[in-house]
Amino acid sequence: MMSLNISAADNNLCLAEDNDCTFVLLTHSSNELVIVNQARAEQALSPFSTFKIANSAIGLETGVINDAGQTLSYDDTAYPPQAWWPSVWKLPKYNLTSAYKFSMVAIYRQLAKDIGDKQMRHYLKTFNYGNQDISSGLDNFWLNGSMKISALEQVKFLQQLHQNQLALSEKTQQELRKVMLAKMTDDYRIYAKTGAGKVDDGSMLGWYVGIVETADESYYFALNFNRPTYQQMKADRIALAMNHLKQAGVID
């Protein structure tokens, strides 16, 4: 394990002295971990929408969802549209790919209810996902509820997922790759998910977690950090993670 001590001059990165952020990178072939801020990397936090990775996998594996292109709906009496919803949460229809891309919360709350308590608990135990605690509500435990996961646990989950160690069917794995693909170049592919939400101190917690595939290696990363507002968090989230991946030589 390597712990990075990044200088304060690198203000476009998570700094070693900044307790409000962490970045973790796991290289598959060597199992080497690079960590910025060990204590923060071990801190269990709400996964927010990064849980959509696990939720999607469980939905596909249980057959609640057939494939990435299936039209999905939700009970709008249980989850009525709100004035503050972004326009991408008000589209006429969704499938798993678009619901994941736009992080459509109501679709995923409905999906969790359709999966059901018993199967959700079973798969979270199988995945060894965070603290596996869904006691605060089947349709909201990942939204600053009882479910907590650390950045270190995120990368280990992603490694197991990517290396087919979670006993998921080949179809589930293939469909999930379609859903998770965030960027593709001639040199690498990134499969990832953002997450964000207000936490108890009033700040916004932001996540970006994912997998980088190159021709000869696989990497797993997790960034989390706090910012005073959603706008500040959103502006930094993906950029910070990409800067760390570039610094580590994972991407150009």
Residue in 223, 54, 51 with CA at minimum distance from that of residue 123:
54
Check if the beta carbon of residue 169 is closer than 8 Å to that of residue 65: no
pLDDT digits (tens, 9 = 90+) for 70-93: 999 999 999 999 999 999 999 999
Check if the beta carbon of residue 150 is closer than 8 Å to that of residue 24: no
Q: Tell me, what's the pLDDT at 18?
A: 77
CB under 8 Å to 31, separation ≥6 — which residues?
Answer: none
Task: Verify whether residue 136 is a known catalytic residue.
Answer: no
Q: Which residue among 30, 46, 49, 150 is the active-site one?
A: 49
Q: How many CB atoms lie within 10 A of CB 42?
A: 14
- Per-residue confidence in pLDDT tens, the chain, 252 aa: 544 444 333 458 998 777 899 999 999 999 999 999 999 999 999 999 999 999 999 999 999 999 999 999 999 999 999 999 999 999 999 999 999 999 999 999 999 999 999 999 999 999 999 999 999 999 999 999 999 999 999 999 999 999 999 999 999 999 999 999 999 999 999 999 999 999 999 999 999 999 999 999 999 999 999 999 999 999 899 999 999 999 999 999
The crossing angle, in degrees rounded to 10, of helices 117-127 and 151-162 is 90
pTM: 0.94
Q: Tell me, what's the pLDDT at 8?
A: 37
pLDDT above 90 as % of the chain: 92
> What's the CA gap between 211 and 68, in Å, rounded?
19
> What's the CA gap between 88 and 102, in Å, rounded?
6
Can you give the three-state secondary structure of 39-78, one letter per residue?
A: HHHCCCECCHHHHHHHHHHHHHHHCCCCCCCCEECCCCCC
- Residue whose tokens read 């891309």: 101
Distance of CA 171 to the CA centre of its chain: 21
Q: How many CB atoms lie within 10 A of CB 77?
A: 6
Residue 144 zone, left/alpha/beta (φ > 0; ψ -120 to 50; rest): left
pLDDT digits (tens, 9 = 90+) for 87-139: 999 999 999 999 999 999 999 999 999 999 999 999 999 999 999 999 999 99
> Where would I find the beta strands (DSSP E) of the chain?
2-3, 21-27, 32-36, 71-72, 94-95, 181-184, 188-198, 204-214, 218-227
| Pairing state between β 94-95 and 181-184 | unpaired
Check if the beta carbon of residue 176 is closer than 8 Å to that of residue 219: no
Amino acid 51 reads F
- Residue whose tokens read 């072939």: 29
Q: Tell me, what's the pLDDT at 200?
A: 94
